[in-house]
Amino acid sequence: MHPLALLGCLVALSHCALATKVCPRPPEVLFATLNVDKKVYEVGEEVEYTCRPGFMPNSGQRKYKCLPTGKWAFNTLLCLPRRCPPPPPLQNGKMEFEELQYQSTVTFSCDPGYNLVGSRTSQCMADGKWTGTFPQCQPVTCPTPIGIENGFIEFAVRRTYHYNESVSFGCQSGFVMEGPKHSRCESSGNWSTKPACRAPCKIPVKKAVVLYNGEKKRVQNDLKDGILHGETVSFFCKNKEKSCAYTVDVACVDGNFTLPACFKERGFFSTLVKKDPSEMKACEDEA
């Protein structure tokens, strides 16, 4: 082949090769989208990256052209999370967070004795603002405490009470306090458990000899005012077969007192002719 003809063919092939140069899809940028997204781009074709909502471009280039070499220029774009300003200090409370950027969450809590008023969390949004309004920590208060049945509050003032303040209770004469003497204003705004005043008991017999605190007592004389809640008396009951006596304990439970089934209150005549069980030998002594 003539040299000129060969040269012409080489030039033609070179033009054909240049004409068919294309660029592949541009490199992916995290948190960004392309205005034109396809598999192949012609030489000179331009694309532009846009950061997704909640992300901001750095100083890197956003527009790129497909070069005659079939490659894209080195991509320097970064899409960084948009930042939110630090929340204002929470008086009498604290904030917990890891970052102050898009989709980050801050959690609020109050010191003991304070209640959180408002949302417990806030999130950094795409526009660089926090959701909602920031909460406040308000002091815990309790209403004026209510008295207890058969009792009273000592030195109580009709006012609002604050966290950890306490009041003391007392019982009327003859009543026994059961439970804590003091009640405290708790973090919930409620009072802690109050005591109860338990009622005394009348012993429902006219005459009887019983054991009280280890000593024999006549109900009609020594225990005519009754016994206190929680106290116990022992009644003498007769074992007819063995002609001996045994005792049965009965406790006063908040004004309730039940006589044992074995106890028989003696009438006037029986006291003259029969021996009182309290004067009989104890059954265990007979064994």
Length of the chain: 287
Residue 282 covered by a domain = yes
**Domain encompassing residue 129:** 93-139
How many Å apart are CA 168 and CA 145, to the nearest integer?
Answer: 10
Q: Phi and psi of 270, rounded to 5°? A: -65, -30
Q: Looking at residue 27, which CATH number applies to its domain?
A: 2.10.70.10
The reply to whether 217 and 278 lie within a common domain is yes
pTM: 0.64
Residue 123 lies in a domain: yes
How does pLDDT run along the chain (287 residues), one tens digit per residue?
A: 444 444 444 444 444 444 568 999 999 999 999 999 899 999 999 999 999 999 999 988 899 999 999 999 999 999 999 999 999 999 999 999 999 999 999 999 999 999 999 999 999 999 999 999 999 999 999 999 999 999 999 987 789 999 999 999 999 999 999 999 999 999 999 999 999 999 999 999 999 999 999 999 999 999 999 999 999 999 999 988 888 999 999 999 999 999 999 998 877 555 555 788 888 888 875 44
Structural domain tally of the chain?
4
Q: Note whether residue 255 is domain-resident.
A: yes
Q: Which two tokens stand for residue 81?
A: 């999370």
How would you classify residue 279: left for phi > 0, otherwise alpha for psi between -120 and 50, otherwise beta?
alpha
Q: Is residue 9 part of a domain?
A: no
Residue 59, in any domain of the structure: yes
Q: Tell whether 192 and 231 lie within a shared domain.
A: no
